[in-house]
Amino acid sequence: MALEEIDLDLSKTSMPSDVQTLIMEAEKRVTDFFETEANKRFPRYLPSDFVTCYEVLEAITRKQLALGKVFCEWGSGFGVAACIASMLGYEAYGIEIEAQLIDASRALATDFDLPVEFVCTSYIPEGYDTYSTGSDESALTNDMYLLSERDNRPEPVYTGLSCEPADMDIFYVYPWPGELDMMANLFEVVAVEGALLITYQGPDEAIVHRKRA
């Protein structure tokens, strides 16, 4: 498999008032989270830029680049990307391992009457694991993958989620430094051919890839 980068023109993107309201409220909640130092329990949590997230998702939607309308946010935190996707008409899911952040994301979705499903688990599916390469980078592996052919690996499963990874059309993630290659590998493992991966990589920068044969 290979990943094909997709160039997006965001110049025609405009933001409706309901999305603006969601983003403003989300930014307020995230700010309160950091100002009260609640974030110290979750040192790896950093929010992506919500405006950039909307712009990229809106462009993908407007240009009909996705296979379908199922969206999954990996490491969903406050669940803002999943909520934005729901506002754009997607069946949206969020995967987050920290229960307190799951509570915050569910509260945000409920307050805006958005039917987003969040599940408290790792976005690394059962049967797989990560390991350090020794250079501050992470990689993905599983025992069956190491001992057999790639095509014989176990099907990835997220326990507690009502949607299978193979049904997801768009994945969104803000990877920790050193995790870019691992995220690309994870995407290749769980996604079907033609699915999209949005990787937020810093201020005003989100890269979109499509999985190709």
Position 200 scores a pLDDT of 95
Selected residue with higher pLDDT from 78 and 36: 78
Task: Report the mean per-residue pLDDT for the chain.
Answer: 86
| Cα–Cα distance for residue pair 168/122, rounded to 1 Å | 16
Closest among 184, 170, 191, 211 to 61, alpha carbons compared: 170
Q: How far is CA 90 from the centre of its chain?
A: 13
Position 63 scores a pLDDT of 94
**Domains along the chain with CATH numbers:** 2-212 (3.40.50.150)
Q: pTM of the predicted model, to two decimals? A: 0.87
Tens-digit pLDDT profile for residues 19-33: 999 999 999 999 999
**Residue 43 pLDDT > 80:** no
Closest among 19, 22, 114 to 71, alpha carbons compared: 114
Residue 69 burial (CB count, 10 A): 14
Position 147 scores a pLDDT of 32
Position 66 scores a pLDDT of 97
Position 183 scores a pLDDT of 86
What φ, ψ does residue 41 adopt, rounded to 5°? -75, -20
**Residue 130 pLDDT > 60:** no
| Cα–Cα distance for residue pair 113/87, rounded to 1 Å | 10
Closest among 74, 56, 71 to 173, alpha carbons compared: 74
HSE-CB of 200 using CA atoms within 13 angstroms: 25
The torsion defined by the Cα of 59, 64, 66 and 69, in degrees rounded to 10, comes to 100
What is the 8-class DSSP label of residue 134? S
Tens-digit pLDDT profile for residues 52-104: 999 999 999 999 999 999 999 999 999 999 999 999 999 999 999 999 999 99
Amino acid identity of residue 199, one-letter, is T
